[in-house]
Amino acid sequence: MEADLPDVVATKLTLLDDVRRQHGIPPSPRHVVTVADALDLEQVRAAAATGGLDHGLPLMVLCEGLIGYLTREETERLASNVRALLGAFGGGWWICPDFQFRTEVGSLPPERVRLREAITGVTQRQLDASAFEDDGDLTAFLGRVGFDVRVRSQIDETPALSSISALGLSPTWAERMRPLSAGRCNRAPARDRRGYTRFRRPCVSGPTHNLALIGSP
């Protein structure tokens, strides 16, 4: 199930209809596209109800391309809404690659700066308004909202995120990539009552976003 603002949903539904018609793909009851403002908890709950999701099972919430447009206050409201939604299910995870650190924003190459300025001109949104000082600042923020966080290097978690064999890669691939992760931070795991939650920083050089898998206790 996916949710977005009304204009985006209308466009997406039109595109989906075109693709299905061109390729003879029937609609699936397992793919629901509905309207919801992620900053409005009641709309988020209504969207979950529209999808017919089983509240007895864990829930996975994925946000991408969203937090960069939010202020810190809006980011906190989003995080609180996601936490409340997970609490209405059997726990779960929040996957979000949009968290940024100010040090990364400050070292963007010129072409990325120009792109961000163009986006700001169109959206009237400052793209680094929700950026965090460092991983400690982000971890503390998520803790205040009610999440537990475990910081890990992404290179160590790659096999859990994808099938190395399905991608046709050797099991030694992750080890060959490990030098690229040099200098990235790691923390000892902190387990919660359901197991553990994870915050992963991408292990590539240059300014990047951050990927967070966050579970509710």
Q: What is the DSSP string of 128-152?
A: TTT-BSSHHHHHHHHHHHT-B--EE
Domain ranges of the chain: 59-215
As a whole number of Å, the end-to-end CA separation of the chain is 23
- Average pLDDT of every residue of the chain: 77
Locate 121 and state its tokens: 């001109």
Distances (CA, A) of 179 to 148, 155, 174: 28, 10, 10
Give alpha helix (H) positions in the chain: 6-23, 41-50, 72-87, 102-105, 110-123, 135-145, 154-161, 173-177
Phi/psi-derived region of residue 116, left when phi > 0, alpha when psi is between -120 and 50, beta in every other case? alpha
The predicted structure's pLDDT at residue 161:
63
CA 186-109-130 angle, 5° bins: 55
User: 96 or 33: whose pLDDT is higher?
Assistant: 33
The predicted structure's pLDDT at residue 88:
92
In the predicted structure, residue 85 carries a pLDDT above the cut 80 = yes
In the predicted structure, residue 86 carries a pLDDT above the cut 70 = yes
The predicted structure's pLDDT at residue 210:
32
Measured distance CA(143)–CA(135) in Å, rounded:
12
Single-letter amino acid, residue 120? T
Read off the pLDDT band of 171 (50, 70, 90).
low
In the predicted structure, residue 169 carries a pLDDT above the cut 80 = no
